[in-house]
Amino acid sequence: MASNRRSFNRPYGERRYKKLFIIATEGQKTEPQYFALLDNSHSTVKIKCLLSKSQSAPTQVLRRMNDYLKKEGIKKTDEAWIVVDKDQWTDEQLAELYKWSLRAENLKLALSNPKFEYWLLLHFEDGHGIISSKDCSDRLLRHLPKYDKGIDSRLITQEHVASAIKRAQAKDNPPCTDWPRQFGTTMYRLVKNVISCGCDF
């Protein structure tokens, strides 16, 4: 008797679903270049950066994200992240982003204080003694001499990323609920999630 059992073999050439990370960034060059390191054909994740040529204020980054989600939607298994710096932005401006992140489990905020370069610095050292944004930039140049708002992907390895996660997490103790008030970054939470979902770079 012929079997009516349905075959669940994956058709030849069909790929498994890649978890999507939607990221709206304040920066237009450095952050997208960094996330490109984590997004390649070998990974089981897909990263989509929402860019704008000029609009970088927190409210504008949030609007960019909301416009995308309204048009494209988001699966419960995917994640949407807003990535900004503390820099000159006020607590009131950042609180709006944090409030947005509380709307759903897969809406997130990653903030670096004073700026994204602090996260990059943690790939190479602990960042002790940093007291200003300029300190952060000057110290990073020791490790990335040609750094000018751009990243040479050859100089950041898996080991560097693992070290940055470890250092940032150690500094975030106890873990902040919204964003770091002192020098620190919650970027490690985003990168940890990407890696745990199968990023391979």
With cut-offs at 50, 70 and 90, classify the pLDDT of residue 115: very high
- Interval 96-106 mean pLDDT: 97
Domain membership of residue 13 (yes or no) is no
Query: Is the whole-model pTM more than 0.85?
Result: yes
pLDDT at site 14: 47
C-alpha 98/C-alpha 197 separation (Å) is 24
Q: What is the pLDDT of residue 2?
A: 44
Counted domains in the chain: 1
User: Does residue 103 sit within a domain?
Assistant: yes
> With 60 as the cut, is the pLDDT of residue 52 above it?
yes
Q: pLDDT tens for residues 1-18?
A: 444 433 334 344 445 578
Residues 126-165 have pLDDT tens digits of 999 998 999 999 999 999 988 886 787 788 999 999 999 9
Query: Is position 7 within any domain?
Result: no
C-alpha to C-alpha distance for 47 and 35, rounded to whole angstroms = 7
- Per the structure, the complete domain to which residue 155 belongs is given by 19-196
49 with 38: CB under 8 angstroms?
no
